[in-house]
Chains A and B, each alone.
Chain A
Amino acid sequence: MGRGDAERTATVRVQRFNPDEDREQRMQDFTIVLRPGTTVLDALHRIKTEQDGTLTYRRSCRHAICGSCAMNVNGANRLVCNMPLREQLDRSGTVTIKPLPYLPIIKDLVVDRSTFWEQYLRVRPWLVPPDDVPEKEFRLSPAEVEALHHAETCIMCGACYSSCQVIGMNKSYVGPHAALKAFLRVLDPRDTIPGDRLEDLSGGDGVYRCHTIFNCIDACPKNLNPTQAIETLRKLAAKREAYDRDRRVRQASLSEPIASE
């Protein structure tokens, strides 16, 4: 066994907990051989199929678009499917994987996201368009769409939500994911109820509960910025009636071509 072999295995330390069988959470070490291009998800898959079929986690697309596989790796929340295993190993060649924090554990790395989805529905994530729709599309300028593009790419993975200490203290807090979704709808010129939404969001457990801890920005695998969305919502909420009026003005010309410079 030469020096090359010592570099070729990795220790994957996973938190295990099955409420039906275990009294406590425990860490379990697995050893796998490192192959080029192995992601952390690949490692979990190999462990599950070759060593211990009871190791349980969520995954689907394996290319960072479905949002299933958010977990806590080496203390930080992220998706495991696009994370090269090599880069996650500490000096002893170990990567530590735990489930997303603050959420009840269903089994091993699978957590109960009920409150996450409740907050998502609470902000009414659907657009509320005007009643009379044009024959063709509403006209939005490229600049208006640009402002929405980032929030639009949120895959609802939960990394931000479960990295937020406000959530840790208060499960009724709206959460960065729902705030970002609300931001998307509030800013969309086609939405008819921005004032209503802003009113909702400025209530108890709304966007004023954010303590600008910024963990959400660090955790987001899509480099989105829920904090900035929340700050923007706060500013807009302070002048929501004016914003609502401006929206109605904008909506009067939603079917008209955008004038070019």
Chain B
Amino acid sequence: MYTSTGYISFLLRRVTGVALVIYLFMHMWVIGSANGGPEVFDARLNLVQGPLFKLGEIALLAAVVWHAIDGIRLLIVHYFDVTEYRRSMFWAAIVVSAILVIAGGIPMLTFMLEEMGG
């Protein structure tokens, strides 16, 4: 019951949703500093260039992708009579999200490693 695909998807939805809101505020905090001119902006941007943040960006990609794909799954559940396929739809969402995250994450990771090396 606590490990049903429905409950896991609900938990992930909540977690990614909250995470995205937090990211949004961080993003506004960084971008908003452009009001103070190029030096202020560059300084703020530098703060979020570290390897931890780079990994964080991959996590951000995962959160956005999962939240969007799961959102599409939910729209389908809402408009069509598909509860019979609830489990396979969950796994399909996982697989599609994984593909997209890997496809996007690999270049990001490569770039990050290159930057660190060079």
Residues of A whose CB lies within 8 Å of any CB of B are: 72, 75-77, 101, 163, 165, 211-215, 217-219, 225, 227-228, 231, 234-235
- In angstroms, Cα B2 to Cα A219, docked, is 12
27 contacts between A and B (CB under 8 A): A72-B1, A75-B1, A101-B1, A163-B1, A165-B7, A165-B10, A211-B10, A211-B13, A212-B6, A212-B77, A213-B10, A214-B4, A214-B6, A214-B83, A214-B86, A215-B1, A215-B4, A215-B7, A217-B86, A218-B1, A218-B4, A227-B83, A228-B81, A228-B83, A231-B77, A231-B78, A235-B78
Among A165, A225, A234, max chain B CB count under 10 A is at: A165
Overall SS of chain B's interface: helix
A225 to B5, CA, bound (A): 16
Query: What is B's interface to A at a CB cutoff of 8 Å?
Result: 1-2, 4-7, 9-10, 13, 74, 77-78, 81, 83, 86
Interchain CA distance A131-B94 in the complex, whole Å: 53
Contact yes or no, B1 A212, CB < 8 A: no
Which residue of chain B lies nearest to A228 when distances are taken between CB atoms in the complex?
B83
A-side contacts of B78, CB under 8 Å:
231, 234-235
Among A163, A212, A228: residue with most chain B CB under 10 A: A212
- Residues of B within 8 Å of A214, CB to CB, are 4-6, 83, 86
**Chain B residues closer than 8 Å to A72, beta-carbon distance:** 1
Q: Tell me, rounded to whole Å, the shortest Cβ–Cβ distance linking B92 to chain A.
A: 15
Q: Are the C-beta atoms of A213 and B7 separated by less than 8 Å? A: yes
Q: Give Cα A215–Cα B86 distance, bound, in whole angstroms.
A: 11
Q: How far is the CB of B10 from chain A (nearest CB, A)?
A: 5
Taking the closest CB of chain B, its distance from the CB of A211, in whole angstroms, is 5
Besides the known contacts A213-B7, A213-B10, 17 further A-B residue pairs in the complex with CB atoms under 8 A apart = A75-B1, A75-B2, A76-B1, A211-B13, A212-B74, A212-B77, A214-B5, A214-B6, A215-B1, A215-B4, A217-B83, A217-B86, A218-B1, A227-B83, A228-B81, A231-B77, A234-B78
Contacts of B86 in A (CB 8 A): 214, 217
Residues of A within 8 A of B5 (CB): 214
